[in-house]
Each structure stands twice: as C-alpha cells, then as structure tokens.
Structure 1
Amino acid sequence: MKPYSTPQSILAAGLLAFAVSSCAPTVMTYRLEPASGDIATIDGRSVTKAEQNGVGVVASFEREDSEFVTLDVEVKNRTDHSIDINPADFHFAALGAAQDTLTNSANPNLVIAGSAADPAYEAARMTVKRKQEEKRLKRAKVFNTLLMVAAVASDVSSSSRSRSYREYANKRVAHSLAYEGIAIKRAVDYSTFANRMQRYDYEEYRWRELALKANTLAPGESVRGFVYLPKVANASYLAITYTLPEQATVPLLFKQERVQQKQARQRRH
C-alpha cells in the first residue's frame, strides 16, 4: 500500500508538533533591578525611591506580565497642594549597556521610547476583544461545518465507487483521518476560545483592580498600584520618568536582564 497524506493528517501532525514544542523546559524571562535613587531591600525585593519638588515615587519590579514588565509603584504627595496622578505620565526610554539611547533598527533617527499603558483605555478594549473572539469562533464553526459536509459527501461518493476491498479500505482510512482532523480542529477552536476569554477576564481584572489609577492626591496622601511598561527585548536599562507638567520630573533607572529559567505556570494576583 502506498503511503498517503491528507490535509487532515497534516493538520493532526502539526498539532502534535506544536504540543511537543510548547513543552520546552525553559523560557526567557525579564528581570529588572533598580539602578538609581535610594535603593533598599524590603522583603527580599530591591526597592528604589526618588523625589522632586515634593513629589515622591517608590518603585520595585513586580513581574513580567504578557507583553509588559510590571512595576509596583507608590506615588506620594509631599507638596502643599493637590496633584493629579495618571499612570500614562510614566514615560521610559530604552538604553544600551553603556546607558546610551537605543534607536529603532528600521529608523536610526527614531529612539525607542514610550509611555506606560493607560488602564482606562486598556480596560475599555476588553469588550472589543471579546466580540472579536466570538466572531472568530462563529467563523470557525461555519468552516468546520463546511469541512464536515464535504467529508461526508466525499465518503459516500467514494464508498459507492470502490472497485475492490483494498480500495474501499484505503478510502475508509483516509476519511476516518479526515473526520479525526475535523474533530481535532473543532476542539482546538473551542480550547483557543476558552483560553482567550479567560485571558481577557484576567486582563480586565488587571486593569480595573491592580493597575495604578488616575486620581487626585491631596497633600500628605499617597496611592499605590502597578504600572505596566511595554517590553523592550534588547534594552539593558530602562530610564523611567514620572512627569507632572510644570511641577516635577522624577527619574528612575532600572537595569534589565533576560534570564533563562524553568517554565512554570505564571502566578496571577
């Protein structure tokens, strides 16, 4: 019997290869350490603080979270007036090993810099993301139905035209693989949908409950939360500034490393 392959068998093999490759024992993760300000070790964690014109910032590295590196930040108002706090006022520039400014490889005139994620904007995107995922699943359902109809029609037609038992048996095996491939695809579609929706639930919780919120601080008050900075893979340092226009610019410098460690389920808070 000659070896044969079908789109379904190729799909099944590809899924198996993906499952095997996704079980890699180690992953590359990001780790940041304070490199400026008054640095102290609190509960085993390096914490830095800096202040300008009565605006104080205390920060430490919390964890890597999806496409972000996360800082645990507390902003203190030591002035005699109220100040407006906004996490989007945290800005960063990517630096090299010599603390030189990194530029975009595609455009050397463009430095690699940006702002922290805006929790209000990111939380509002969750509704859009969920709707897009629901539409994707509906399209997958329609496509899977078309595949099944085509497979059944081919099965009925080929079985009635088989001229020998060997030919009949070969076609039965081929169509069995086709049905199995469709079943695998359907399972993958639903699993992907469930995983993404679960991820969106976490992201919504992250933006609404964990992230530093925009608010107004009265004199003597402070506020604490997570600030999410986009990852910059090739940066050795992140020069971070918290800026209140015409009031203060508080600088923070963090050294960044990418380390290899055993893969583990990411802990969520």
Structure 2
Amino acid sequence: MKLFSVLTFILAIGFVVVSLSGCAPTITTYRLNPVSGDIATIDGRLVTKAEQNGVGIVASFEREDMEFVTLDVEIKNRTDHSIDVNPADFHFTALGVEQDTLPDPRNAGLAFIRTAADPTYEAGRMSLKRKLETKRLKRAKIFNTILMVAIIASDASSSSTSRSYREYANNRVAHGIAYQGLAIKRAIDYSTFGDRMQRYNYEEYRWRELALKAHTLAPGELVRGFVYLPKVANAHYLAINYTIPEQANIPLLFKQELVQQRKNQRR
C-alpha cells in the first residue's frame, strides 16, 4: 500500500496544481507608448517618426505577443544608395522610472541591453521545437505506462487480501481515484502537446509572414513589418536604437506600463 499511497498523492497534487493554474483572476499585459521623435495619433494609436542621414523610421506599439512586445515598424530609404535592413539591428536598453539604466540580471556590472529577435534564426528553430515536444510526449507515455502497471499491481495485490467490507470499499474508492487521475494526466499530456504544436505553427507563421525581414532597400523604397523585443517586466522605459553601421543610429524611446486586467475582460 505504501507505493500506492505515494502514487495517489502525486496524481492528486498534480491535478490540483493544474486546476488552480487556470483560476488566476487577473492577468498582466504590456503597453508601450512612444515618448520621443515626431509623435502623432494615427488610427487611435501613438506613432513616432525619426530620421537620420536619409534613413527614416515610423514605429508604433502593436501588441504583446507571448514572450515579446511587438513594434510595427516601417523603414524608408531616402538616401541615394542601397541600404541593408535587418531586424536584428534593433537593440534596446531597459531603463528605470528615472530613465536610469537597469543592471543586467545575468551580470550586475553590465547594462540591461537586449537585441530584437532574428526572424530567420527563430524560424529555423521550429523543427527542433517540434521534435523536442514529440520526445516529451513519448516520455510521458512511458511514464504513464509505468504508473498504470503500478496501479494494476497495487489493485491486484490489495484485492486478494482479506479485509473488512469498509477496508474493501475504501480500497476500491482509492484505486478508482488513481485510475481516474491517470486518465486525467494522459488527457493533460495530449492537450499540452496539441497546444504547444499549435503554438509552434503560429510562431512559424509569425516569423515567416509578420516579422520584419532582412532586406536590401534601394533608394526610395520602404519595408514594413513587426519587430519583436524580449519582455522586461521591471523596465519603465525601453531606449531603442536602430543602427546601420557607418550610416545611421536612430534612437526611439518608449514608455512601458504593465496593466492589470480581469481574465474574463481580456480580448
């Protein structure tokens, strides 16, 4: 019975944790507004414009997207020669409430500086992510099989032991809970697998279709797409710089707010 008691406890705790994880009454969302450059309101959103040495940028906050905050960016080449555009040339420094530079949590002696996601690199990771998720499901299946064997062995052993009716009834209830808990765990494993695969499909679409791509702009041309910046929860400002070596270094300053919303109010 000792093995069975431990097994039942693990399944019960896992079920409670999963149940409680979906009951959070509020959710935190990110909101960014530009506070530098030539700012205007277009279609209800704040948009900033900046230019240096013939390279022009129009940028606005688009939305929060999983582990990123997203900027809608347009880059125009007003020079008399071609320029190379790359979303990985967007960098930002996380600033505090007084626009002081925050320390990097990985190394307190350095400034908190991050680079925008590289869509080509991220799209290339999708195949590996799917393979790892498939392996995770296979490991879960093996573990579930081991649990089932343990439950059946415990059930058979305890059922063959003579006992009072109350003990017999309690034993049947306990094993029924264990079988049900294992069924729930299996359902959660498959649901998690499906959700993550769906997420990876979206991520692949995001990097291939929505993100700003590396591109060579001829004079007079422009390109538009989303730039994905890693979230920094404790930042009050993001000091963003778009750099083209030996051509331009364009600063953009955005103020960041964390907004608490009730879960049923979020669209």
TM-score, structure 1 length as denominator? 0.93
Task: Determine what percentage of the aligned residue pairs are the same residue.
Answer: 73
Report the alpha carbon displacement of residue 93 of structure 1 after superposing the two structures with TM. 0.4
Report the alpha carbon displacement of residue 92 of structure 1 after superposing the two structures with TM. 0.4
In structure 2, the partner of 1:90 is 90
In structure 2, the partner of 1:224 is 224
Rounded to whole Å, the distance in 2 between the matches of 1:104 and 1:87 is 22
**Contact map agreement 2:88 2:117 (CA 8 A) in 1:** yes
Report the alpha carbon displacement of residue 100 of structure 1 after superposing the two structures with TM. 1.3
Question: 1:75/1:264 Cα in 2 relative to 1: closer, same or farther (>3 Å)?
Answer: farther
Rounded to whole Å, the distance in 2 between the matches of 1:17 and 1:137 is 20
SS in 2 for 1:36: coil
Rounded to whole Å, the distance in 2 between the matches of 1:264 and 1:76 is 40
Report the alpha carbon displacement of residue 178 of structure 1 after superposing the two structures with TM. 1.1
- Are 1:124 and 2:118 matched, yes or no? no
Rounded to whole Å, the distance in 2 between the matches of 1:230 and 1:27 is 18
Rounded to whole Å, the distance in 1 between the matches of 2:142 and 2:167 is 31
In structure 2, the partner of 1:182 is 182
In structure 2, the partner of 1:243 is 243
**Contact map agreement 1:95 1:238 (CA 8 A) in 2:** yes
- 1:48-197 residue pairs with structure 2 within 5 A? 48-105=48-105, 107-197=107-197
Gaps of 5+ in 2: none
String of CA shifts for 1:201-253, please: whole Å, max 9, x gaps.
11111111000000111100000000000111111110101100001111100
Moved over 4 A (4+): 264-267
String of CA shifts for 1:37-56, please: whole Å, max 9, x gaps.
00000000000010000000
- Are 1:35 and 2:35 matched, yes or no? yes
Question: 1:67/1:265 Cα in 2 relative to 1: closer, same or farther (>3 Å)?
Answer: farther
Report the alpha carbon displacement of residue 105 of structure 1 after superposing the two structures with TM. 4.8
**Contact map agreement 1:9 1:181 (CA 8 A) in 2:** no
In structure 2, the partner of 1:260 is 260
Rounded to whole Å, the distance in 2 between the matches of 1:199 and 1:25 is 23
Rounded to whole Å, the distance in 1 between the matches of 2:127 and 2:19 is 30
Report the alpha carbon displacement of residue 183 of structure 1 after superposing the two structures with TM. 0.6
**Contact map agreement 2:11 2:182 (CA 8 A) in 1:** no
**Contact map agreement 1:31 1:257 (CA 8 A) in 2:** yes
String of CA shifts for 1:53-106, please: whole Å, max 9, x gaps.
000010000011111110000000000011111000001001111111111356
Rounded to whole Å, the distance in 1 between the matches of 2:10 and 2:34 is 49
**Contact map agreement 1:9 1:177 (CA 8 A) in 2:** no
**Contact map agreement 2:15 2:185 (CA 8 A) in 1:** no
In structure 2, the partner of 1:212 is 212
Rounded to whole Å, the distance in 2 between the matches of 1:217 and 1:265 is 42
| Equivalences, count | 264
Question: 1:110/1:264 Cα in 2 relative to 1: closer, same or farther (>3 Å)?
Answer: farther
